[in-house]
């Protein structure tokens, strides 16, 4: 068994990429007065997706890991909500909003599939 196996998971790599894209977007397009509000909330939610994958990957059972993947999914929901707020407040344009939502949906599907595979494994 490899140490830090979570770094090999495609969902981790894709979530990391998504985080980097959205952090850069928010740095460029969100106003400074959102630094400790929406920007901070978005960044914490993006971090939480990755941190839950990492933490869950070293749990004793697949069922425990699946719980942390569910936590990642709920953090992704929070990211989507932050994106909705950013759209409503005029920080991002509708076309970009749609692109980010489509990427979020792909991540959600990956998280769901991974979680289901763990819950259906013999190592529950």
pLDDT digits (tens, 9 = 90+) for 72-91: 999 999 999 999 999 999 99
CA–CA distances in Å: residue 102 to residues 5, 83, 95: 27, 12, 11
Q: Could you state, in order of their start, the residue ranges of all structural domains in the chain?
A: 5-119
> 24, 16, 30: which is closest to 103 by C-alpha?
16
Of the pLDDT bands very low, low, confident and very high (cuts 50, 70, 90), residue 1 is low
What is residue 60's predicted lDDT score, i.e. its pLDDT?
A: 84
What pTM was estimated for this model as a whole?
A: 0.94
**Residue in this structure with the two tokens 């990956």, named with its chain if needed:** 110
Contacts of 6 by beta carbon, 8 Å cutoff, 6+ apart: 12, 53, 54, 57, 58
- Class of domain 5-119 (CATH, top level): mainly alpha
């Amino acid at each position: 068994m490899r140490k830090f196996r979570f770094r090999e998971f495609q969902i981790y790599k894709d979530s990391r990429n998504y985080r980097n894209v959205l952090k850069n977007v928010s740095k460029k397009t969100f106003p400074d007065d959102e630094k400790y509000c929406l920007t901070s909330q978005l960044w914490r939610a993006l971090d939480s997706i990755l941190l839950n994958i990492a933490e869950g990957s070293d749990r004793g059972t697949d069922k425990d890991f699946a719980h942390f993947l569910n936590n990642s999914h709920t953090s992704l929901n929070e990211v989507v909500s932050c994106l909705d707020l950013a759209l409503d407040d005029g920080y991002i344009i509708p076309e970009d909003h749609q692109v980010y939502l489509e990427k979020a949906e792909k991540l959600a599907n990956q998280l769901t599939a991974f979680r289901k595979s763990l819950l259906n494994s013999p190592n529950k």
